[in-house]
Structure 1
């Protein structure tokens, strides 16, 4: 593999170590120590990195006690340090932490609870520790079930950082190798692509890649997509785009893997799962990050026929996947989502944020587009609305300015010019108002 050693590994909103001299002495010493002990692969956020020491709900506090509004971290989906989840983890940790080869009711209770959120066709669930592991397992099963090798993804997708999943995660950058069995299609860019039917437009491009895979003898194992296309730039305007795509995928003998790591667990405000906005039923659903509100638990749910032969021919075991404490964390998190009606809160607060962002769109010509669903929103920054030329420098400057205003966001898309707004599901109207006030102030302050 030829690698351009002059290019630093890609990370949107990453701190540049070459600029460490501009930091205060304490931060510079921390950065130096971190590099010495952890090596160069670990990256920090923001041009001025921040150290957090505690958090609660949607608020985080730095080492000086300053409060920050967290509009980015979806791992703690029901809020930082939620007492119901913390108590469930502590109780189980004090009793027993062991794996799935012993009988335990916790994994069965949670499996029943989780499967009830899916369509009847989804009948089994298997547990891992991370979303990367979940997508790794899902892809193994897809290839075994179909007998094919090929995978189709969107152009800037992210599906994990294991050896296998990194090979179909192009958003990791040009130095990260893609598998020879991977094909990419453009994201359904509702801002730049002018077509009458985005679903048919995307399906045509998927069909082209299926044909190429078949010509090379690899065939199609799976089409893999995050239904909000979050790493591509967050596209959620057209809720019907997946149906025609799945038609050509299944006609080719492939399956649909819905990656719900980022867009699942009530994130969209209308449905529990992102794919449900499109009126389709996947063959496999992968889950991760928000599942345990900070405890490492993830998994896949699937149609029973997908794992029938796989399960018969080989065993699956994961020492920590599905352990008793993980199941306690996951069950408590889902209880909070359901008992506190966070789906409705996501819809309500998301609408407030969207309305406010649209108001800013009318006021500032540097905002080209506002889009998203529920509490996953994107604001695309452009140099010119007529040409729609991306303005990544402006987007990253706004991310840094928001950090200085003690509001946390990041950026996404191939050009890193889309502000990524992804708060916890407990983000309320007052938090939304504070966010919008600070973003308007940031727009006025940044004059790039």
Structure 2
């Protein structure tokens, strides 16, 4: 019984390679893509008009087969940088000793769990491990439904939460051919830029309350609202801090849970603490995280209040053969070491502020830049056809994304219309890298004729 609050359809993949232009590519890349299509099938997609072929990585850089360096301002999975030596050494050392599952006793999982849970509010004191963020979302939905006895899930209009069946059914960003679940309702994202001037916290809470009322009218008991807190695929919305409080109150009053999807904003990316939800002054009921916790190794988790796990665990066994194996737990522990020892949360704040200031300076001379927003190392630049109407300009955003790629700077786009640059580099991205990005962005905008 899916009900879209907005009739706007979800888009096709943003910044996807057009297979119809295969003949325009050099022979090496054309041959590789033909092999991909023959071996992997049509569901696998590539980024950019001219796909990138990285063969190695180092910090915030990727290198192609000709050893050209690409500034990575997009990939959050290698959260502490590509091939960080401390993480690489930890993985290799543990792989040479032992790698097995959680049905045997082991110190590593306990030591890491204590470290991880110490970064959360005290009420969030149980953790269950998976291999991917999609699995963690899937598990969180099971927990929420079992604890509440409900089936209704509320999401935002262009959300993305994963690729398992349950996660895909709450991911309208996958496109209109991926049907949402029967008891899934969507609400508009908290868009300050294109809103009506009302407080976005009030509007979101009202929309969630209306979705709950709709569910009840149709005999559906609400289970949870899930959001990533930065609303990354909806267009990147972070302000003002605290706007999620009223939504949490509405959910709890209805007996439903708040699931914070921290796969993208978590692990210090926003520069205001370890977790994105913290800047809103709330304590979610369940928090999910994904592969950035292991710098790309297959480890993810759901953290929850003990009463939620207790009810589920008393009745249902949980096991994930590869989740929290020794090598992945060791990688995750090494990631925490790097975040702490290299002050990466503070770096995210400082570099993010510098990027925001630089893009806002560009905004003064580029009429097509309607809004610059975000926090820490998760930023968005919103292109418009007209600042008065604020009509999205997805074509210009795509042109800029590919223009940056041609200058070997990697980003992508976000939002239902694909008009928001999505800037989300690895956490070691420093001011010197930000300046390289800003210079390249300025050059691309001038070449596109967007500058005044």
Please give the range of the TM-score, normalised by the shorter of the 2 chains: over 0.9
The 2-side partners of 1:241 and 1:109 are apart by 34
Q: Which residue does the alignment assign to 1:178?
A: 180
Range moving further from structure 2, 18-27 or 340-349: 18-27
Q: Is the 8 A contact 1:289 1:298 kept in 2?
A: yes
The 5 Å alignment of 1:8-407 reads 10-407=12-409
Give the superposition deviation at 1:220.
0.8
Q: Which runs of 4+ in 1 moved over 4 A?
A: none
Post-superposition CA distance 1:337-372 (Å, at most 9, x none): 011111100000001100001001111000010000
The 2-side partners of 1:191 and 1:383 are apart by 14
Secondary structure, in 3 states, of the residue corresponding to 2:153? strand
The 1-side partners of 2:11 and 2:112 are apart by 39
Give the superposition deviation at 1:62.
0.5
* TM, length-normalised to structure 1: 0.97
Secondary structure, in 3 states, of the residue corresponding to 2:55? strand
Count of aligned positions: 443
- In structure 1, list runs of 5 or more residues that go unmatched: 2-6
The 2-side partners of 1:254 and 1:345 are apart by 36
Range moving further from structure 2, 149-158 or 194-203: 194-203
The 2-side partners of 1:72 and 1:219 are apart by 38
Secondary structure, in 3 states, of the residue corresponding to 2:111? helix
Give the superposition deviation at 1:8.
12
Secondary structure, in 3 states, of the residue corresponding to 1:420? strand
* RMSD after superposition: 1.3
Secondary structure, in 3 states, of the residue corresponding to 2:364? helix
Q: Is the 8 A contact 1:195 1:201 kept in 2?
A: no
The 2-side partners of 1:180 and 1:365 are apart by 43
Give the superposition deviation at 1:180.
1.1
The 1-side partners of 2:52 and 2:124 are apart by 42
The 1-side partners of 2:122 and 2:51 are apart by 46
Secondary structure, in 3 states, of the residue corresponding to 2:14? coil
The 2-side partners of 1:56 and 1:300 are apart by 29
Give the superposition deviation at 1:401.
0.4
Q: Is the 8 A contact 1:190 1:237 kept in 2?
A: yes
Q: Is the 8 A contact 1:382 1:390 kept in 2?
A: yes
* TM, length-normalised to structure 2: 0.97
The 2-side partners of 1:217 and 1:93 are apart by 51
The 1-side partners of 2:284 and 2:195 are apart by 26
